[in-house]
Structure 1
């Protein structure tokens, strides 16, 4: 894990409370539910093959095909607080569960603390078996929140999402502006050298 370009260890203060997981990002960089334009590895061929299989199963359409993946590694006792995935991603998104069966809680009013979550009225507590695929769309994706109770044993999840057109356009604009600024800097340096008689 730690040799990948976008490996992230959880902050030490989170590890102490159990609110933690190790992650590797592919396709786009995400940290604390914020999407950034940082360098990132492309989706590996094995993940593209898995996406082909999920597409054949009808998990998503061709226009919904994910272009990013967050690999999450949860230790026993780790948990994730209630949240809504960033709107920088289109819906639906899907999660493949590996190593152990664990639960996820959905609801408008998730109560509890430190990984002990209750879904509240109208909420749902769902078990994710090993090898299962959870497709999250509609109200379940937003405005509903979801949270992960404390893991009873080690778990890996592959969360596949598609970066929105607006987010890709924003990243492209940042890239173009950065490139233009670099060209302008080089031009200024050249002018300064020429002015000094270089």
Structure 2
């Protein structure tokens, strides 16, 4: 993992954002252009809950509902809408990841998000080598 990503994970641990048993060991960096959207989904259960989405470059909203109706391209009918501000960390857990589907409607501005997750130990792919500096990381352990 790049050093900037490791530094971010260490900072989140220092601030006690993830519990000690859920320090992320992987991440996804998503880069979106104006007009893109994140389709309706439930994140795969190979990843331990909670996980953390950090938003960069612009504000967007994330929509939640057990069943989200697709109205049109990038437009959805939903129950809950949460603003995701630039630089904020959204913690996804419980029903927000396992029961409710979520999506991000079409974006008015370019956006970058980094989603930090921990792979379930029983699901780790063959050959994956965990980073020892992250494996033993505990809150306030810097």
TM range (shorter): 0.7 to 0.9
Distance 1:59 1:151 in 2: 27
- The answer to whether the 8 Å contact 1:81/1:114 transfers is no
What RMSD in Å do the two structures reach over aligned CA positions? Answer: 1.1
1:143 and 2:99 are equivalent in the alignment: yes
Aligned partner of 2:2 among 29, 32, 44:
44
The residue number in structure 1 matching 2:32 is 74
Q: Which 5+ residue runs of structure 2 have no aligned equivalent?
A: 128-142
Spell out the pairing of 1:1-198 with structure 2 (5 A cutoff). Answer: 43-112=1-70, 113-119=72-78, 123-168=79-124, 171-172=125-126
Distance 1:67 1:50 in 2: 12
TM-score, normalised with respect to structure 1: 0.61
**Structure exhibiting the larger radius of gyration computed from Cα positions:** 1
Distance 2:48 2:112 in 1: 23
Residues 51-103 of structure 1, C-alpha deviations (whole Å, 9 max, x = no match): 11111222212210011110000000001221001111111111000000011
Point out 4+ residue stretches in structure 1 off by more than 2 angstroms: none
CA positional deviation for 1:166: 1.5
Identify, as 1 or 2, the structure richer in strand: 2
Tell me the secondary structure at the aligned position of residue 82 of structure 1. strand
Identify, as 1 or 2, the structure richer in helix: 1
- Larger relative contact order, structure 1 or 2 (CA cutoff 8 Å, min sep 6): 2
**How many residue pairs get matched?**
126
- The answer to whether the 8 Å contact 1:94/1:161 transfers is yes
Distance 2:16 2:63 in 1: 24
Q: Which 5+ residue runs of structure 1 have no aligned equivalent?
A: 1-42, 176-198
TM-score, normalised with respect to structure 2: 0.84
Tell me the secondary structure at the aligned position of residue 48 of structure 2. coil
